[in-house]
Structure 1
């Protein structure tokens, strides 16, 4: 009997019987066998990895045991056991390139500098795309800069935005006064808080976030906001809440069941409301720019983008990707990426300074010697402050604010280091593993700024130090972030000393892993340094 006749016989037998269950069971088994035979062909020669379970994959199985142990108190919360450590630990079993399955989605994790560099720098056309993650795609419509798919449209948008931001001071000394203005406000507020502080400490995050966001506002919106401006504070709060909700346990299931996003209850409803409120704020600003646009005197990136739109319309380019809709998502990208990462980097540095007062003293002594106490640090001082720079870099190395980068995707099937990476595979470049690679860093888990100094005390940069990523998707705001980080850290360390509140356990260095790795909430006691008056600090 042929296989087809045999199948027809079973179906007809099941249909003529009163019990349909055998047919359903058979159909399900037949489907699963057929499906996994096809999958085996597609995934032949992929990198090794733990064996996946049908339907659910194996990613969750790696994370659940450590999560349960922490919840039960069998693992201390300050040991750094989180998703990044779990992913990095798999290299002990499968090597620096291994596979995981999130449901039926193949994910390849790249570990170590040589592998990450090879994929993103030597094969950029194959590994520079972005995956279509349901929750991200619903919110961003796959537009903007950060999450947009790789291709001609993305290239034009990124090139235009980068050139425009440079025209308005990105990476140049002309932007320094804008950054210093925000620092003046921070120092004035810290001086007030230091006098009123009862010993419980100060939460630095709102002040730092406000100053960093205002730099983005100056470049993109052409205006600054007072740190007590209700609308501005509401926007920052909405963005922070949106990022927090996005990593909420129920919300991540949107990636498996996209229709959950539209549930009219709980965090799903709140997420949609946050998105609506941010949309209203940003689109009102775009509309105001359109109504007040003066092509002879562009004020910011929005004006330049609107002018580009008008120019392309005048040239009859009907299929132009330059639209107000696309502009909206670019602004959102710049705000979130430009605020969250830099704010967290500054907060990590100041936390490490409070935890290592000896290093804090050395940094402050160097600043005093080069800059003094009565002149604010400038970008021109950077080359004369090697230990300060080395300290900032060492904190960046240890904390890696975007530890898994933004996920990449294989835009075509590729042969890579002896393995086959199928088209559509999600790629995780594990930057955390790069900065903890024992073949590249001596005693990599130890905080040691001197590793970035040569025998003469001069700064040197290692190729494997890549906190902003590598390849064509490298962070567009890298130069701005470096400027803000250097000026903020040096100015705040010049003006104040930072120590942990007495009688409280030191904050965990595990961090909170979401879209970025943020420090756990902490407070520090801030005191004006000896020899400084209130006027000196400004």
Structure 2
């Protein structure tokens, strides 16, 4: 019996530490079942392990998410060669491809724009992008909607400040987390479903946001990472407990989307019965439904792309991604600026100069995208906040669509077979001291030329690069700029206790977020 046990143990050790790693770039030693998840999780800084491994193994190495090998690319030049110049070969998707269909609410299907690949992904992404542009993404129409929602937020902040003053609690400060969440949630909800979240819906939205936050936190756990690599582990404890929580979260998010779609279908059917048009294409939901109905009268082949299952997954992807990422980023923006009064004051001086010029020309109103070119320092602050924030500790994984050959360390050729999981690890670029000296210091001036104009870095890639670049980039850039310029034109943000300021340490999750903090908010007298 003992010889058999020793033989099996030896075979397992050989398989785990030697055989399964053959042909892959070098990398840290994985543990059985959990891979390198424990090392990633225990690190205080969520992206530090990737930088350490890059220094040890070079610009391309292998880490393990559970039993799934992931080839990590950390050098910008190599990323550009692979994901941009040879983009089609690396445009596949690995992220959540096997785990998502295991959730009950997914109905065993793989749809949407985040997890799909091939023709389904191309057709769906092209349609979603075109629809969002038609709905105003990157144009004045969506900008106007965002600023309307921003004014609602400003009103809520002013009422909160007044309430604290009445109670003599102004020095206690307030948290902007709820207001920022609702601002971004309303904007993405308008784009997808045509309406912002009203005061009556605020509590329901916050509950939904808590579910999304919990889901991203679970994705970053050791068991969550292992499940993403091998969903079959969901049948084994402790993975089964994590999977059950993730499954329940997905069900709650899909329930909101399904309820919204069902109500819209009823509205369109009622309009038809009354002899009316079923509704103009004023949101993504109506655009998709109109396209579905047009395809009912056209080619059968297109129905596999434009159906209810794909619609609900597209809405899931865009709602989740559009809410989670921008909300966390803006919370970091406020945090970085309350901790650096020099930068905040300098930015506000630029905004005041803009409004002095506007006043001379008889122009008022809020800062708009048309003013962006006149505000280089505001743009520099936005860039530096995004760089420092580094929202994704591990970027969304790709999959090779063909056999490829890559030049690795010391010119060694690395051959990867079709279906290999690979990821451009953007944190290693954003914190590369050769590109951004003193990378851990908050220095917006790094994005300015000596003459004060904005300096553009091709390595500044917070939205990714290549075929899989974030499709909501222009929307997010608009939200980040308009919020920063208009909020800090209206308010001075200060720490509640200057001797014990909030930490910039990041909460670990699938997307990082700051630890909860409060700030003192003083209305600025120079607001025009």
| Bucket of the pairwise TM-score, normalised by the shorter protein | 0.7 to 0.9
Q: Which of 352, 372, 383 lines up with 2:373 in the alignment? A: 383
Per-residue CA deviations over 1:138-169 (Å, capped at 9, x if unaligned) read: 34543211122x21110000000000011110
Q: Does 1:147 align with 2:147?
A: no
Q: Which of 180, 183, 187 lines up with 1:215 in the alignment? A: 187
Q: Does 1:161 align with 2:128?
A: yes
Inter-partner Cα distance in structure 1 for 2:239 and 2:512: 30
Q: Does 1:203 align with 2:175?
A: yes
How far did residue 313 of structure 1 move? 2.0
Q: Does 1:184 align with 2:151?
A: yes
Q: Does 1:344 align with 2:328?
A: yes
Please give the residue correspondences for 1:327-406 in structure 2 after superposition, counting only pairs within 5 Å: 327-372=311-356, 375-406=365-396
Give ranges in structure 1 of 5+ residues lacking alignment.
1-19, 68-80
Inter-partner Cα distance in structure 1 for 2:347 and 2:120: 45
Task: Judge which range, 134-143 or 212-221, deviates more.
Answer: 134-143
How far did residue 227 of structure 1 move? 4.0
Q: Judging changes above 3 Å, is the alpha-carbon distance between structure 1 residues 341 and 33 closer, same or farther for their aligned structure 2 residues?
A: closer
Structure 2-normalised TM-score?
Answer: 0.86
CA RMSD, Structure 1 to Structure 2 (Å): 2.8
Inter-partner Cα distance in structure 2 for 1:477 and 1:63: 28
Task: Judge which range, 412-421 or 203-212, deviates more.
Answer: 412-421
For the Cα contact (< 8 Å) 1:106–1:426, is it kept in 2? yes
Please give the residue correspondences for 1:298-309 in structure 2 after superposition, counting only pairs within 5 Å: 298-309=281-292
For the Cα contact (< 8 Å) 1:57–1:103, is it kept in 2? yes
Q: Give the structure 2 partner of residue 47 of structure 1.
A: 25
Q: Judging changes above 3 Å, is the alpha-carbon distance between structure 1 residues 60 and 251 closer, same or farther for their aligned structure 2 residues?
A: closer
Q: Does 1:59 align with 2:36?
A: yes
Inter-partner Cα distance in structure 1 for 2:325 and 2:10: 48
Inter-partner Cα distance in structure 1 for 2:318 and 2:311: 11
Per-residue CA deviations over 1:216-275 (Å, capped at 9, x if unaligned) read: 111110112214414333333332333234334554453444434999996654433332
Per-residue CA deviations over 1:347-395 (Å, capped at 9, x if unaligned) read: 1111111010011001111111102596311111101011111111111
For the Cα contact (< 8 Å) 2:37–2:222, is it kept in 1? no
Inter-partner Cα distance in structure 1 for 2:125 and 2:205: 26
Per-residue CA deviations over 1:406-431 (Å, capped at 9, x if unaligned) read: 11122333111121223333223111
Q: Which of 198, 202, 220 lines up with 1:226 in the alignment? A: 198
Inter-partner Cα distance in structure 2 for 1:33 and 1:430: 29
For the Cα contact (< 8 Å) 2:234–2:240, is it kept in 1? no
Q: Judging changes above 3 Å, is the alpha-carbon distance between structure 1 residues 402 and 266 closer, same or farther for their aligned structure 2 residues?
A: closer
For the Cα contact (< 8 Å) 2:405–2:414, is it kept in 1? yes
Q: Which of 225, 238, 248 lines up with 1:273 in the alignment? A: 248
Q: Which of 234, 258, 261 lines up with 1:283 in the alignment? A: 258
SS in 1 for 2:505: coil
Q: Which of 412, 419, 436 lines up with 2:431 in the alignment? A: 436
For the Cα contact (< 8 Å) 1:349–1:395, is it kept in 2? yes
Q: Give the structure 2 partner of residue 127 of structure 1.
A: 90
Q: Judging changes above 3 Å, is the alpha-carbon distance between structure 1 residues 351 and 240 closer, same or farther for their aligned structure 2 residues?
A: same
For the Cα contact (< 8 Å) 1:48–1:94, is it kept in 2? yes
Inter-partner Cα distance in structure 1 for 2:15 and 2:175: 57
Q: How many residues align?
A: 495
Q: Judging changes above 3 Å, is the alpha-carbon distance between structure 1 residues 32 and 432 closer, same or farther for their aligned structure 2 residues?
A: closer
For the Cα contact (< 8 Å) 2:490–2:524, is it kept in 1? yes
SS in 1 for 2:304: coil
Q: Judging changes above 3 Å, is the alpha-carbon distance between structure 1 residues 262 and 221 closer, same or farther for their aligned structure 2 residues?
A: farther
